[in-house]
């Protein structure tokens, strides 16, 4: 079937099977391999994408569910002018190790910041608790999100 | 900022962070091509069986299926392994664990692959299995490898010092315990993955691996193909932690590609397949007996350790030997009798995992130390400080410590910390129905392969025509950031910033053999080689530039970012211009480094030396855990954690802290929630919904400090930091729970069920002291 949605700011019409997993659509069909897959069953958060600003797990979503939606993947976060300041904060705070959970972590954090601009450390920890990381122990990720949120005015200048 | 010269000791952003954060980094699992094939494996599903027949006819008739291969199609030895080659690429005579692969299918797409795999039927004769390491050594136990002259024994090791067991006769106090440690799953987020292509007579395999150079000959021999025509490429891993130290998909991919020339073939294990088939931390049973004098000075230690290695070696012998060598901890104990067994069973494969046998023995030893402290009425901190190893001492394995030995400093720093100082007040303020406690653990971790296997790295650096320094990274960066540290080392010596450097990731056709990314050796060994290569490069560049600029000599010259400068005149030459003048040979510098080995011979057993005993360089750590136990539910929460580490000089404080925090996190998972459950060889925690690793709400903010003693042999004074932090958390938490509630849980992990069970039994046998 034909599916129309907005992907990383661009309107798109694609022909695909309605039951195609969104993670396969992104990675295999559209070449957006920044969306990772790790468990295939909604347990780890590696495949997180933003659908209308909400963090969603693309490994348990089907293509038809994207109809008319606005989708953001990690590739759509940084613009022509460079990295998103949250990505800068991840670098500055050493929040990236193997990097496999990183795209999902960034997107889940952005969804949190969208609904709660100044979260506490506890709120950040709760928000990313569906995103597993095996390298960092999460602390530096929390540091990055917290610092970004606190210094947002500086970033947004 | 990217031009700022990199400096040793200063936090620098990781080179790989940008590409990983933007999704641009291509991991082994990220390859797709229009003509790509998918390969997958039919696995046994039973723990022990004789294979009669594998029925593949239905599978091969499915449209879109290109190959269905069994052991009969494997032309080589069909055996893989680092020390003992006993693991088949495709099982031939027998199934030895549920994850054994029986048939390899190559298909046009994933749906067809799944259909084909489901259509393969197995005619197998179940055999009685063996699932307990001590039972496995009994007379008449079913044999995992009938041809093994030692039955189900893989390796037996014994180290004795002083009077051995006789030392207990001179002790005033003795404590004894049996500890049971669970199997732990690596749970790297990128499951085993890769792709291969056989083209122009070259078999090219890109895999998520820690050991490309070793994989090359191991896979070539197993599948019967000329090693010199095999190329292994190793991108950044999406985590590995030891689980990719050796063959996972490589041989299977090679086989698939050789049978389908000219087309790329991809294999990517699902999470359930990864948990089923991959190696895990060895479950262990440890019998500890510690003797001391009245004043708390340790006098004798007797240890018997059983490691369940599952059906294959998979470095299980080496893991066991390292556990044995570390079983007495960082203490002076004059009389020791240390024994360990690695035993074959039909359980999941035991293999390398961060700490490599040391987390198990540290969990046991450090609890035994606390039990002794309690018996003698000495504080856990004092008893550790009293017995802590110093440079020049022999460690419990009998090795003279000639290098930096900072465990005493680590403990003193814990003692002086705010967290420790305030812990009594904090404990008293526990909320209703909760009890708070603080617990300590010391730890050590040897570095490198030990005396026999050459622990060698070959570094290469090139000045490109564009004037950039290209570092050929010979050791995989599985996420720990060693590749960035290599750039930092070269940048420091050549006075360049990140923008002046390039990196080539491990590739058997481009980089030089430098061993595996393991054993806390990665920065130590390759770093030392790179220092020499970079200094040679610098010397040549300054000499040639000095001649070209008519200077008096190279002492008048210096490297600045992107350029070389004649200091007296201020004249500068871009590195690109210099590169244009130099010959290819002059633009490249290579150097080799081998880690020295200890001069003691604590063992006359050549097999133990082969498996790595003894080591000469050790990192040390002292950990303190602060826990709150809910007496109604048994839930233990870690409220604070402090790690003080001696891993020599810290080259990049941020990367150091990443390693420490990450190690603590895995250690806390090991202590509190991670347990790979099996029932007669069948895994009962097959996915991430049942095998629970810590999430962001399960872990506290951790504090980390370094005792920066200079290690003479280390690059800029460094010792390895990758594993040490994994070792302490289990015992620190166990000791904190004992401190809080007066109970000790002798079987890990310390789940709410076990804690509650111990709390309920408290008035009787479980109570301590």
Rounded mean pLDDT, B562-585: 97
Instruction: Let me know if domain B17-25+456-594 sits in CATH 3.40.1010.10.
Output: no
Same domain, A106 and A146: yes
Cβ-based contacts of A132 with chain B (< 8 Å): 187, 189, 688, 693, 695
Cβ-based contacts of A100 with chain B (< 8 Å): 27, 188-190, 238-239, 479
Determine the Cα–Cα distance for residues B614 and B396; give it in Å rounded to an integer. 11
Å from A98 to nearest chain B CA?
4
Using the Cβ of A123 and the Cβ atoms of chain B, whether some distance falls under 8 Å is answered with no
Contact between B182 and B746 under an 8 Å Cβ cutoff? The reply is no
Buried b (16+ CB within 10 A) or exposed e, B15-30: bbbbebbbbebebbbb
The number of domains in chain A is 2
Å from A4 to nearest chain B CA?
23
Cβ-based contacts of B32 with chain A (< 8 Å): 27-28, 31, 33
Domain boundaries, position A112: 85-156
pLDDT at res. A50: 98
Cβ-based contacts of A77 with chain B (< 8 Å): 22
pLDDT at res. A157: 42
* Nearest residue of B to residue A140, measured between CA atoms: B658
Q: Identify the domain boundary among A26, A49, A76.
A: A76
Cβ-based contacts of B237 with chain A (< 8 Å): 98
Same domain, A72 and A90: no
Rounded mean pLDDT, B519-544: 98
Cβ-based contacts of A25 with chain B (< 8 Å): none
Contact between A25 and A16 under an 8 Å Cβ cutoff? The reply is yes
Using the Cβ of A21 and the Cβ atoms of chain B, whether some distance falls under 8 Å is answered with no
pLDDT at res. A73: 98
Q: Is B255 helix (H, G, I), strand (E, B) or coil?
A: helix
Cβ-based contacts of B701 with chain A (< 8 Å): 121, 139, 142
Å from B117 to nearest chain A CA?
19
Rounded mean pLDDT, B341-360: 98
Compare CB distances from B481 to A44, A97, A138 and report the shortest one's residue: A97
Determine the Cα–Cα distance for residues B590 and B533; give it in Å rounded to an integer. 5
B80/A152: higher pLDDT = B80
Using the Cβ of A26 and the Cβ atoms of chain B, whether some distance falls under 8 Å is answered with no
Q: Which CATH superfamily is domain B31-127+192-268 in?
A: Aldehyde oxidase/xanthine dehydrogenase, a/b hammerhead (3.90.1170.50)
* CA proximity to B39, closest of B75, B73, B68: B68
pLDDT tens per residue, range A45-80: 999 999 999 999 999 999 999 999 999 999 999 977
Please report which residue ranges of A1-157 form alpha helices under DSSP H: 22-24, 85-92, 102-115, 121-127, 139-150, 152-156
* Nearest residue of B to residue A102, measured between CA atoms: B21
Compare CB distances from B688 to A27, A33, A44 and report the shortest one's residue: A44
* CA proximity to A4, closest of A23, A73, A15: A15
Same domain, A72 and A120: no
Same domain, A92 and A72: no
pLDDT at res. B121: 97
Contact between B242 and B186 under an 8 Å Cβ cutoff? The reply is yes
pLDDT tens per residue, range B477-490: 999 999 999 999 99
The helix (run of H) or strand (run of E) holding residue A2 is strand A2-7
Compare CB distances from A75 to B22, B480, B688 and report the shortest one's residue: B22
Peptide bond into B117 cis (omega under 30): no
Instruction: Let me know if domain B284-450+600-766 sits in CATH 3.30.365.10.
Output: yes
Q: Do A138 and B696 touch (CB under 8 A)?
A: yes
Residue A49: give its domain's CATH number: 3.10.20.30
Using the Cβ of A148 and the Cβ atoms of chain B, whether some distance falls under 8 Å is answered with no
pLDDT at res. B763: 65
* CA proximity to B48, closest of B172, B180, B143, B190: B143
Looking at the predicted structure, is the pLDDT value of residue B600 above 90?
Answer: no
Same domain, A64 and A111: no
Q: Identify the domain boundary among A76, A101, A123.
A: A76
ipTM over 0.95: yes
| Cβ burial, residue B392 (10 Å; 0-12/13-18/19+) | exposed
Determine the Cα–Cα distance for residues A40 and A23; give it in Å rounded to an integer. 9
- Assigned token pair, B228: 């010199």
Q: What percent of chain B has pLDDT over 90?
A: 97
pLDDT at res. B595: 96
Same domain, A56 and A108: no
pLDDT tens per residue, range B410-447: 999 999 999 999 999 999 999 999 999 999 999 999 99
Locate the domains of chain B by residue range.
Answer: 17-25+456-594, 31-127+192-268, 284-450+600-766
* Nearest residue of B to residue A94, measured between CA atoms: B654
DSSP letters along B357-399, please? Answer: THHHHHHHHHHHHHHHHHHHT--HHHHHHHHB--TTPBPTTS-
Distances (CA, A) of B115 to A28, B61, B107, B110, B380: 20, 11, 10, 9, 59
Same domain, A69 and A8: yes
Pairing mode of beta strands B193-199, B265-268: antiparallel
- Assigned token pair, B278: 């991959």
Compare CB distances from B189 to A32, A91, A100 and report the shortest one's residue: A100
pLDDT at res. B329: 98
Counting every residue, how long is chain A? 157
Q: Which residues contact A103 (CB under 8 A, 6 or more apart)?
A: A34, A35, A36, A46, A48, A73, A74, B21, B23
pLDDT tens per residue, range B736-749: 999 999 999 999 99
- Assigned token pair, A100: 């496999």
Compare CB distances from B13 to A91, A99, A106 and report the shortest one's residue: A91
Residue with tokens 């750039």: B487
Compare CB distances from B18 to A91, A121, A131 and report the shortest one's residue: A91
- Assigned token pair, B13: 């952003």
Q: Do A91 and B21 touch (CB under 8 A)?
A: yes
Same domain, A117 and A150: yes
Cβ-based contacts of A94 with chain B (< 8 Å): 11, 13-14, 654-655, 657-658
Same domain, A58 and A99: no
Looking at the predicted structure, is the pLDDT value of residue B602 above 50?
Answer: yes
Buried b (16+ CB within 10 A) or exposed e, B463-485: beeebbbbbbbbbbbbbbbbbbb
Å from A60 to nearest chain B CA?
14
* Nearest residue of A to residue B479, measured between CA atoms: A98
B17-25+456-594 matches B31-127+192-268 in fold: no
Q: Identify the domain boundary among A32, A52, A76.
A: A76
The helix (run of H) or strand (run of E) holding residue B106 is strand B101-107
- Assigned token pair, B478: 């599985």
Q: How many CB pairs under 8 A join A and B?
A: 172
Same domain, A62 and A90: no
Cβ-based contacts of A74 with chain B (< 8 Å): 21-23
Compare CB distances from A135 to B25, B479, B702 and report the shortest one's residue: B479
pLDDT at res. B740: 98
Compare CB distances from B658 to A126, A134, A136 and report the shortest one's residue: A136
Same domain, A57 and A93: no
Determine the Cα–Cα distance for residues B214 and B250; give it in Å rounded to an integer. 11
Same domain, A72 and A7: yes
pLDDT tens per residue, range B132-179: 999 999 999 999 999 999 999 999 999 999 999 999 999 999 999 999
- Assigned token pair, B190: 């990128």
| Cβ burial, residue A31 (10 Å; 0-12/13-18/19+) | exposed
């Amino acid at each position: 079937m034909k599916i129309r949605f907005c992907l990383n700011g661009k309107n798109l019409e694609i022909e695909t099977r309605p039951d195609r997993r969104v993670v396969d659509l992104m990675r295999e069909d559209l070449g957006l391999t920044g969306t990772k897959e790790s468990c295939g069953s909604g347990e780890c958060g590696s495949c997180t994408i933003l659908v209308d600003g909400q963090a969603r797990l693309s490994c348990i979503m089907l293509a038809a569910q994207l109809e008319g939606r606005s989708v953001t993947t990690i590739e759509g976060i940084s613009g022509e002018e460079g990295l998103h300041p949250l990505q800068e904060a991840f670098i500055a705070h050493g929040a990236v190790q193997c990097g496999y959970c990183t795209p999902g972590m960034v997107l889940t954090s952005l969804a949190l910041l969208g609904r709660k601009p100044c979260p506490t450390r506890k709120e950040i920890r709760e928000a990313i608790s569906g995103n597993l990381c095996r390298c960092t122990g999460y602390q530096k990720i929390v540091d990055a999100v917290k610092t970004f949120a606190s210094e947002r005015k500086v970033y947004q200048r | 900022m990217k031009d700022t010269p990199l400096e040793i000791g200063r936090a620098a952003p990781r080179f790989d962070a940008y590409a990983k954060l933007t999704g641009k980094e291509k991991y082994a699992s990220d390859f797709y091509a229009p003509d790509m094939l998918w390969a997958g494996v039919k696995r046994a599903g039973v723990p022990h069986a004789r294979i009669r027949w594998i029925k593949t006819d239905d599978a091969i008739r499915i449209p879109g299926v290109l190959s269905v291969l069994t052991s009969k199609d494997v032309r080589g030895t069909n055996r893989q392994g680092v020390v003992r080659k006993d693991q088949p690429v495709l099982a031939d005579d027998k199934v030895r664990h549920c994850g054994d692969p029986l048939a390899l299918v190559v298909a046009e797409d994933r749906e067809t692959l799944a259909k084909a795999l489901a259509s393969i039927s197995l005619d197998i004769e179940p055999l009685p299995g063996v699932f307990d390491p001590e039972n496995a050594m009994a007379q008449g136990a079913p044999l995992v490898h009938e041809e093994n002259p030692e039955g189900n024994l893989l390796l037996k090791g014994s180290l004795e010092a002083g009077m051995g067991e006789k030392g207990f006769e001179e002790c005033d106090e003795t404590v004894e315990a049996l500890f049971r440690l669970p199997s732990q799953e690596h749970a790297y987020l990128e499951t085993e993955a890769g792709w291969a292509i056989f083209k122009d007579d070259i078999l090219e395999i890109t895999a998520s691996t820690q050991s490309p150079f070793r994989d090359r000959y191991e896979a070539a021999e197993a599948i019967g193909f000329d090693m010199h025509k095999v190329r292994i490429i190793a991108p950044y891993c999406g985590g590995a932690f030891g689980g990719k130290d050796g063959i996972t998909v490589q041989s299977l991919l090679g086989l698939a590609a050789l049978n389908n020339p000219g087309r790329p073939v991809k294999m990517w294990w699902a999470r359930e397949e990864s948990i089923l088939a991959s190696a895990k931390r060895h479950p262990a049973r440890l019998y500890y007996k510690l003797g001391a004098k009245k004043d708390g000075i340790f006098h004798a230690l007797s240890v018997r350790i059983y490691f369940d290695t599952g059906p294959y070696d998979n470095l299980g012998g080496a893991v066991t030997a390292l556990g044995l060598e570390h079983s007495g901890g960082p203490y002076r104990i004059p009389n020791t009798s240390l024994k360990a067994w690695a035993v074959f069973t039909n359980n999941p494969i035991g293999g390398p995992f961060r700490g490599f046998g040391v987390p198990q023995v540290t969990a046991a030893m450090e609890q035994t130390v606390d039990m002794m402290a309690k018996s003698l009425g000495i504080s856990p901190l004092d008893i550790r400080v009293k017995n802590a190893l110093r440079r020049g001492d022999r460690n419990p394995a009998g090795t003279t410590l000639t290098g930096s030995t900072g465990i005493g400093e680590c403990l003193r720093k814990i003692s002086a910390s705010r967290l420790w100082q305030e812990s009594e007040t904090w404990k008293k303020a526990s909320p209703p129905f909760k009890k708070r406690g603080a617990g300590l653990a010391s730890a050590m971790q040897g570095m490198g392969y030990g005396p026999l296997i050459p622990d060698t790295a070959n570094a290469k650096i090139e000045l490109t025509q564009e004037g950039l320094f290209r570092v050929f990274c010979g050791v995989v960066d599985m996420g720990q950031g060693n590749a960035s540290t290599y750039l930092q080392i070269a940048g420091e010596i050549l006075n360049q910033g990140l923008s002046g450097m390039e990196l080539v990731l491990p590739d058997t056709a481009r980089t030089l053999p430098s061993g595996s990314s393991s054993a806390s050796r990665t920065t130590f060994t390759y770093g030392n080689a790179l220092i020499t290569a970079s200094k040679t490069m610098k010397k040549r560049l300054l000499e040639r530039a000095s001649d070209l600029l008519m200077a008096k000599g190279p002492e008048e010259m210096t490297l600045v970012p992107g350029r070389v400068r004649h200091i007296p005149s201020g004249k500068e030459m871009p590195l690109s211009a210099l590169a244009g003048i130099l010959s290819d040979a002059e633009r490249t510098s290579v150097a080799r480094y081998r880690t020295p080995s200890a001069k003691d011979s604590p063992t006359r057993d050549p097999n133990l030396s082969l498996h790595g005993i003894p080591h000469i360089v050790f990192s040390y750590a002292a950990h303190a855990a602060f826990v709150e136990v809910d007496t109604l539910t048994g839930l233990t929460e870690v409220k604070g954690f402090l790690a003080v580490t001696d891993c020599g000089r810290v080259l990049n404080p941020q990367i150091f802290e990443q390693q420490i925090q990450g190690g603590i996190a895995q250690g806390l998972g090991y202590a509190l929630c991670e347990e790979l459950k099996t029932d007669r060889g069948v895994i009962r925690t097959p996915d991430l919904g049942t095998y629970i690793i810590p999430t962001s709400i399960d872990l506290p903010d951790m504090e980390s400090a370094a005792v920066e003693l200079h290690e003479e042999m280390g690059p800029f004074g460094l010792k390895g930091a990758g594993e040490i932090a994994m070792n302490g958390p289990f015992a620190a938490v166990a000791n904190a729970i004992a401190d809080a509630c007066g109970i000790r849980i002798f079987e890990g992990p310390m789940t709410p069920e076990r804690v509650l069970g111990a709390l309920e039994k408290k008035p009787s046998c479980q109570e301590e002291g």
